[in-house]
């Protein structure tokens, strides 16, 4: 098969390129959830409305716009297209705020998990920007793991899951990150996320 035919074949097979973008991170482990926890998590991911920031003051809005501009510059090397980059950053900010997470921590996690690749797939099957394991779509979603490649869905799941792990670990980020990666108690992954987080910290 010549190169042209190979490229054409890849273009018509939706999943063909996924295996070229395998992520190096691990994945969450499936654990039994109490019905109340499952219901709460399902509720937290149910609203699929587009991210629309709401600000309490003009200064808060200006701070957000300064953050957006600063992060856009830093992310340029990963996402060249301006509209794609801004849409991604707006959604990360919205979902991090919605879940009560530090947006720089979420950005650091995404960098380590997928290197900002939308269609990244890990060796254990975790998917998308935040490398969400497919079992979550069955446990707290509608059962369709294909939706984990949708940007907002992936970021929504990832942020809600990280918030869940933080609550289980009583706010201990080190241990919560270990749970997220399936390596609880081991330092390599949390330290990698904390290191990446530094790049995404911002003071207006």
Letter string b/e over residues 134-157, b meaning 16 or more CB atoms within 10 A of that residue's CB:
bbbbebbbeeebebbbebbbbbbb
Q: What is the pLDDT of residue 103?
A: 98
Q: Across the 204 residues of the chain, what is the mean pLDDT of every consecutive 10-residue run?
A: 40 36 67 82 82 90 96 97 97 95 98 96 93 93 92 95 96 97 93 98 84
Domain positions in the chain are 35-200
Assign domain 35-200 one CATH number from 2.40.50, 1.20.1270, 2.40.128, 1.10.530: 1.10.530
Cβ-contact 184, 202 below 8 angstroms: no
Q: What is the pLDDT of residue 151?
A: 95
Helix, strand or coil, per DSSP, at residue 127: strand
């Amino acid at each position: 098969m010549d190169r042209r035919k190979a490229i054409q074949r890849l273009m018509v097979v939706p999943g063909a390129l996924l295996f070229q973008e395998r992520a190096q991170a691990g994945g969450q482990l499936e654990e039994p959830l109490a019905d109340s926890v499952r219901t709460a998590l399902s509720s937290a991911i149910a609203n699929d409305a587009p991210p629309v920031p709401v600000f309490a003051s003009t200064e808060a809005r200006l701070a957000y716009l300064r953050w957006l501009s600063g992060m856009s510059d830093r992310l340029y090397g990963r996402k060249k297209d301006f509209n794609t980059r801004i849409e991604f950053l707006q959604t990360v900010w919205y979902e991090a705020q919605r879940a009560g997470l530090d947006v720089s921590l979420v950005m650091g996690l995404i960098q380590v998990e997928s290197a900002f690749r939308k269609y990244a797939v890990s060796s254990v099957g975790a998917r998308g920007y935040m490398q969400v394991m497919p079992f979550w779509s069955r446990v707290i979603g509608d059962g369709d793991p294909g939706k984990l490649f949708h940007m907002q869905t992936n970021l929504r799941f990832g942020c809600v899951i990280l918030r869940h792990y933080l609550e289980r670990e009583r706010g201990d980020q080190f241990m919560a990150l270990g749970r997220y990666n399936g390596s609880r108690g081991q330092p390599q992954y949390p330290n990698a996320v904390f290191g990446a987080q530094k790049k995404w910290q911002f003071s207006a």
